[in-house]
């Protein structure tokens, strides 16, 4: 498994470009990275700002043969762990993960992941795993409403300058090694599950589960093998929540 790298100074969204390349017959594991996105996409229909030369915006195109479609959202979990491992391999920084896949340093977000899937008649044709990492941002580069929740590698390194290229390469190297095991295990999370749970910032914390119909509170336990977060409710019962349906927040803020 080898990645093929493409770089654009400016693009609308690396996820969109990876999908366009898929339609043009690009190779498995084509990586699209950009110095600036003009229409970056976040989860839940939000936009994702990637100002020029400041962040990592990178997406990998995957043709996921032999993996059941409902296991493919788990690629986001692989990506989150890969970002955490890549950052720790390159820099003396400790990372944690907020379920399902925000990577944090010191409780603040440095990375967001958006996985998109295209299917035809119930069969996945391609998956695009898109990763945005805050690298050179200064505090004032973040919008006021996220300033207290977000950080960048440079801010955390306190003076040193991180390398966007090294970050991209390390992320996809870790990802491909996890992906190989994921394919071998037929789409099960396998050995990555305990690695993920050891980094889970929500673990044993009281959280609010935000649901379209009714919110509830409880203690977050860990992620289960299907990628759901187990919550012990106040009546002692345990509920598994799905990231497609709920958001989880700390009682007093983001985590
Ligand atoms: C989130 O909302 O936390 C997910 C953000 C994902 C952003 C990345 S940047 C690279 C890729 N291209 C996009 O348009 N989005 C993803």
Query: Above 90 in pLDDT, residue 251?
Result: no
Residues with Cβ within 8 Å of 70's Cβ and at least 6 positions away in sequence, in order, are: none
Sign of CA dihedral 158, 164, 170, 171: positive
Question: For position 50, what pLDDT does the model report?
Answer: 84
Average pLDDT in the 161-178 region?
A: 97
Question: For position 247, what pLDDT does the model report?
Answer: 87
Query: Above 80 in pLDDT, residue 66?
Result: yes
Residue among 60, 28, 66 at smallest CA distance from 184: 66
- Of the two residues 244 and 177, the one the predictor is more confident about is 177
Pocket test for ligand 1, best of 34, 61, 130, 243 (most atoms within 8 A of CB): 130
How do residues 108-149 score in pLDDT, each as one tens digit?
Answer: 999 999 999 999 988 999 999 999 999 999 999 998 998 999
- The residue whose two tokens read 């050179």 is 136
Query: Above 90 in pLDDT, residue 47?
Result: no
Question: For position 65, what pLDDT does the model report?
Answer: 85
Token readout for 199 is 């980094």
Residues with Cβ within 8 Å of 83's Cβ and at least 6 positions away in sequence, in order, are: 95, 103, 111, 113, 131, 133, 171
Q: How far is the CA of 232 from the centre of ligand 1 (A)?
A: 31
Residues with CB under 6 A from ligand 1: 13-15, 37, 40-43, 46, 48, 50, 57-59, 112-114, 130-132
Question: For position 249, what pLDDT does the model report?
Answer: 86
Query: Above 90 in pLDDT, residue 213?
Result: no
Give dist(CA 2, CA 222) in Å, integer: 32
Question: For position 2, what pLDDT does the model report?
Answer: 92
Nearest Cα residue to atom 16 of ligand 1: 130
Give dist(CA 76, CA 4) in Å, integer: 20
């Amino acid at each position: 498994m080898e990645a093929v790298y493409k770089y654009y100074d400016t693009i609308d969204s690396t996820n969109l470009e990876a999908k366009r390349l898929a339609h043009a017959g690009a190779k498995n594991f084509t990586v699209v990275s950009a110095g600036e996105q003009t229409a970056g996409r976040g989860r839940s229909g939000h936009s994702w700002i990637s100002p020029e030369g400041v962040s990592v915006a990178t997406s990998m195109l995957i043709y996921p043969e032999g993996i059941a479609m409902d296991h493919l959202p788990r690629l986001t979990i692989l990506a989150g762990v890969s970002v955490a491992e890549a950052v720790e391999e390159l820099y003396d920084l400790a990372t944690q993960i907020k379920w399902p896949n925000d990577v944090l340093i010191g409780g603040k977000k440095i990375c967001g992941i958006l996985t998109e899937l295209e299917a035809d008649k119930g069969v996945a044709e391609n998956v695009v795993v898109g990763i945005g990492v805050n690298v050179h941002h200064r505090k004032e580069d973040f919008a006021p409403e996220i300033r207290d929740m977000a950080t960048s590698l440079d801010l955390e390194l306190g003076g040193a300058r991180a390398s966007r290229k090294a970050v991209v390469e390390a992320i996809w190297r870790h990802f491909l090694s996890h992906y190989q095991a994921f394919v071998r295990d037929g789409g099960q999370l396998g050995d990555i599950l305990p690695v993920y749970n050891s980094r889970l910032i929500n673990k044993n914390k009281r959280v609010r589960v935000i649901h379209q119909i009714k919110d509830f509170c409880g203690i977050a336990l860990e992620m289960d093998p299907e990628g759901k977060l187990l919550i012990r409710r106040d009546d002692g019962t345990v509920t598994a929540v799905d990231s497609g349906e709920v958001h989880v927040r700390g009682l007093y803020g983001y985590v």
